[in-house]
Amino acid sequence: MKKHLLCIALLFVIGLQTRAQEDPYQWLEEVDSPKSLAFVKAQNKITFDKLSQLTAYDSIYKTSLDIYNSKDRIAYPTVYGEFVYNFWKDEANQRGIWRRSPKTAYLEGKPAWETLLDIDEIAKKDSVKWVYKGASGLYPNYDRFMIQLSKGGGDAAVIKEFDVNTKEFIEDGFYIPESKGGVSYIDANTLIVSSNFGEGSMTTSGYPKQVKLWKRGTPLKDAQLLYDGEATDVSCGGSAVRDGTTSYTWITRYMTFYTSHTFVWINDQLKKLTLPEDATISGILHNQLILNLKSDWNVHDNTYQQGAIVSLNFTDLLADKISVKLILQPDEFSSVSDVYITKNKLLVNLLNNVNGELYVYSFHNEAWEKSRIAAPAYGTISIIDIDEFSDNFFFDFENFIIPSTLFLANAADGTFGSVKSRKAYFDGSKYEVQQIMVASKDGTMVPYFVVAAKNMKYDGTNPTLLYGYGGFEVSLGPFYSASFGTSWLEKGGVFVLANIRGGGEYGPKWHQAGLKEKRQNVFDDFHAVAQNLISKKITSPKHLGIMGGSNGGLLMGVAFTQRPDLYNAVVCQVPLLDMKRYSKLLAGASWMGEYGNPDIPEEWEYIKAYSPYHNLKEGADYPEVFFYTSTRDDRVHPGHARKMVAKMSAMGYPVFYYENVEGGHAGASTNEQSAKLSAMTFSYLRMKLGS
């Protein structure tokens, strides 16, 4: 027996040694261990001491903080009944206040703000670095809300019931302990909840797999279980979905990031909807379920093509009958960015060659009719919020040189007017915007935007910052950034936005061209943009820097390990980098639909070909990279950046590393933290690229 135990112990030690040899820096995945935090503290001090001493730092910090704290910012609205709600941070409210104004006063340009919740105050009272993560209200009066508060900015949140009339959390009201998940009111005394209910209730991705119906006055543990998914699912959640005054309770099971099953809880049982697994639902209008197709759908000898918006008769669907109507079929140059529903209309925000267009669809006589709202052109349109009791809605327009303007529009008659414009922090008339197409390695034409001074010289000396993302069907459109304008453009810099594959700029096909074994297309597109900037003599490798975060941080890691000859500066923010272990860290398993499963040998073959952590080489001429992450990021594990820095340092490569102690995946929780990040980032870029 002793010999048997000794063998087991020996095998265990050998296993530990083998893992240590495979990854000697895995200990840095222990987020809050004293050893890990000592590493972080030492790296932070080195980086901050150096970057904060650069000539540009103080002025960038002050300007950035003034921008973040400015009273001239737009107070973006969320409409509940007769009030407009807004979350606001400034110099006096560093963690922010949740407030509201009567809708009429807001629309007259004189909002009468009433503070409902002071996050700084409750953070001080509780001695917790609370971060506001959102609120969901009780229809139709919206006198009660479920408030989400995160400790340090992570995705996991505590959810507490709040009375907006008394401005107090409700004693003995609904309370859900810290967890990832969600909640929605079914009625005044019933919630549908997805949360960590204890052992066996969470997926391997770290999200809830159970959905429960919870009655007021009963313990959460006794809530009625409506659905229990699989541990290998990404997540399961529930919500109340309304078609006018009719409400449906439904549950969505996400098997992968891009596939799901939807169920309706009706007559005390679950009814599964017969829908394509990869389609996304936008809601119900006049008994028409709105669906966005991610692949071709064959129904009754008709094929509805990938990227289309269609509607289905919902009562028919509940009776297992499929009645489909085509709403919109984008062409090869366009894609659907957003779909929203007002009281009577369907809003479609369309991207046409990466510029926004706004359309209204009306359902009459069993057919959809289209009209266009004459919104500003050549920029990004964002639908901010809708008034569910009318056809009014708010939308925002911006581009690289025109600040954001908030508009109030009416979907019924197409009229709209400006509510408020953001202050211009730099003179946009000095700059011009070009949209350029370049052939990628496989011949695919890839667009990118260049923002530069009108008198820019094509001599290869312009400090240029290239930004990219390329994943999860996320589209990057023209945007106005006061920080980029004041800290980069006004200092002689050029800004470039790459619309590479993996994004959604040209619909599902553009995204799917960068999935899994096709991932190298994304990186080739980015390299092609960089090379084109150099060949056009807009810049040169000495003056070219790149920036990206999250999946864009992975892009940065691949860019400098595959083509270090192209770049002299890299800003790699909250990144994925170790693609062997990403699926075992925090929410990583949920992204296997995007990247593949590294535990399957044939999938690891294509993943390891680009995994930045595994493709570091001795003796390469890498740029001096600036890595930035957050200790409290519970989506992309800070261990990715930590380990990359440790490995590069051991190889003798100089790097910059800063890890904010809070902020979650956003990287910062307060305006001061955001300004500090901005100052370090642009000081680094100007030092490396010569601006």
Domain ranges of the chain: 31-65+431-689, 77-179
In the chain, pLDDT over 90 holds for what percent of residues?
93
How many CB atoms within 10 Å of residue 415?
11
What's residue 402's pLDDT?
97
Asked if residue 691 has pLDDT above 90, the reply is no
E runs forming strands in 329-444: 334-341, 346-352, 355-364, 367-373, 380-386, 392-398, 405-410, 416-421, 431-439
Asked if residue 202 has pLDDT above 60, the reply is yes
Local confidence band at 20 (pLDDT 50, 70, 90 cut-offs) = very low
Q: Which of 405, 678, 164, 86 lies closest to 670, judged by CA? A: 678
Chain segment 560-596, per-residue pLDDT in tens: 999 999 999 999 999 999 999 999 999 999 999 999 9
The one catalytic residue among 64, 665, 678, 691: 665
Asked if residue 1 has pLDDT above 50, the reply is no
Return the CATH architecture of domain 31-65+431-689. 3-Layer(aba) Sandwich (3.40)
| Residue 297 β-bridge partners | 304
What's residue 498's pLDDT?
98
Q: What share of the chain is helix, strand, coil (3-state, %, to 5)?
A: 25, 35, 40
- Residues 360 and 309: beta-carbon distance below 8 Å: no
Local confidence band at 51 (pLDDT 50, 70, 90 cut-offs) = very high
End-to-end CA distance of the chain: 71
Residue type, 368: W
What element of type H or E holds 116?
strand 114-118
Mean pLDDT over residues 416-433, rounded? 96
Q: In whole angstroms, how far apart are CA 257 and each of 96, 235, 503, 601, 606?
A: 32, 9, 15, 21, 20
Asked if residue 39 has pLDDT above 70, the reply is yes
Asked if residue 18 has pLDDT above 60, the reply is no
Cα gap 135→151, rounded to integer Å: 16
**65 compared with 666, residue with greater pLDDT:** 65
Q: Which of 170, 218, 169, 171 lies closest to 193, judged by CA? A: 218
What's residue 190's pLDDT?
98
What's residue 21's pLDDT?
52
What's residue 665's pLDDT?
76
The one catalytic residue among 550, 583, 630, 678: 550
Place of tokens 């007769």: 82
Per-residue tokens: 682: 């642009």
For 165-169, which contacts have Cβ atoms below 8 Å and span 24 or more sequence positions? 167/115, 167/116, 167/117
- Collapsing DSSP to helix, strand or coil, 591 comes out as helix
| Residue 9 β-bridge partners | none
What's residue 245's pLDDT?
92
CA 524 from centroid of its chain's CA atoms: 23
Local confidence band at 662 (pLDDT 50, 70, 90 cut-offs) = confident
Residue type, 108: E
Residues 6 or more apart from 512 whose CB is under 8 A from it?
518
What's residue 504's pLDDT?
97
What's residue 636's pLDDT?
95
Model pTM score: 0.93
Q: What is the full DSSP assignment across 502-543?
A: TBSTT-HHHHHTTSGGGTHHHHHHHHHHHHHHHHTTS--GGG
**364 in active site:** no
Mean pLDDT over residues 212-241, rounded? 97
Pairing of strands 494-498, 445-453: antiparallel
Mean pLDDT over residues 59-73, rounded? 94
What element of type H or E holds 474?
none
What's residue 661's pLDDT?
85
Asked if residue 664 has pLDDT above 90, the reply is no
Local confidence band at 94 (pLDDT 50, 70, 90 cut-offs) = very high
**590 in active site:** no
Asked if residue 510 has pLDDT above 90, the reply is yes
Question: What average pLDDT does the structure give for the chain?
Answer: 95
What's residue 71's pLDDT?
87
